[in-house]
Amino acid sequence: MEEARTKARRSDALSKDRIVRAAIEILDSSGESGLTTRSLAASLHTGSGAIFHHVGSRDQLLRTAVGGVVADVTAGIATETTPQESIRSLMMGVFDAIRAHPWVGAQLAREPWQAALLEIFLEIGSRLQTLGVVEVDLFDTASTLLSYLLGVAGQHAAGVTLSRQTDRKAFLSAAVEDWLGHREALNNPLVRHVTRLADHDDRAQFITGLEIILDGITVRSGRGALHSPSI
């Protein structure tokens, strides 16, 4: 008779890791509102209480899931390139992760003090240092990049939520028309571009903003006067 020390290790044994993976699957397919204790328990073929036995709360589960996704980004940092390229790849990495998992963007915008984000903050900061930003300005400069990233993250998450509910283009057109109703803004050339909100290239737009900020950083650090007003 075989020695029975396998201890009934069923292939579907519950674990924190398995719960997190199942949660990410639901989040990707159904969004954050789709992840409920009950839907998660059902997908794992278990009782709702079992989840709390492995993860403390729904919030902690969400944090763990976000941390995992962001950790994958920081793990793949190429350190051999220039500081600018490092910052670009770091920022783009998080951006692309958010595109793949929009709920990550919403969560990061909501809880920016997450350990994963702190790591990105510090990585960016060290690159800025070798870029020539003086030490006193490091904090505010890195914060600027991170704020921009989080702003875009939240907007992207919102955009996905929006398109999940209604037709995105129709919604935004209606919003613009509503706005035009109580304003004389046909002479505003921006209005003609606003509909681009519906079908523009998110990624290219993100890069443009990133380049603007990087330009601002280099011109200010070169000038050596980060705190004086521009112009």
Give residues 35-74 in contact with a copy of itself (rule: CB under 8 A). Answer: none
Nearest-5° Cα angle at 156, 198 to 107: 160
Measured from the CB atom, the residue of 41 and 68 that comes closer to a copy of itself is 68
Q: Which amino acid is at 150?
A: L
Which helix (H) or strand (E) covers residue 170, if one does? helix 168-181
Measured from the CB atom, the residue of 17 and 215 that comes closer to DNA is 17
Measured from the CB atom, the residue of 14 and 197 that comes closer to a copy of itself is 197
Residue pair 83/127 in contact (Cβ under 8 Å)? The answer is yes
Given DNA, a copy of itself, none, residue 142, with its beta carbon under 5 to 8 Å by kind, binds a copy of itself
Site string for a copy of itself, 109-148 (x = CB under 8 A): xxxxx-x--xx-xx--xx--x-----x-xxxxxxxx-xxx
Q: List CB contacts of 46: < 8 A, sequence separation 6 or more.
A: 14
Q: List CB contacts of 189: < 8 A, sequence separation 6 or more.
A: none
Q: What share of the chain is helix, strand, coil (3-state, %, to 5)?
A: 75, 0, 25
Binding site for DNA (CB under 7 A): 13-14, 35-39, 45-50, 52-54, 57-59
Given DNA, a copy of itself, none, residue 146, with its beta carbon under 5 to 8 Å by kind, binds a copy of itself
Measured from the CB atom, the residue of 22 and 97 that comes closer to a copy of itself is 97
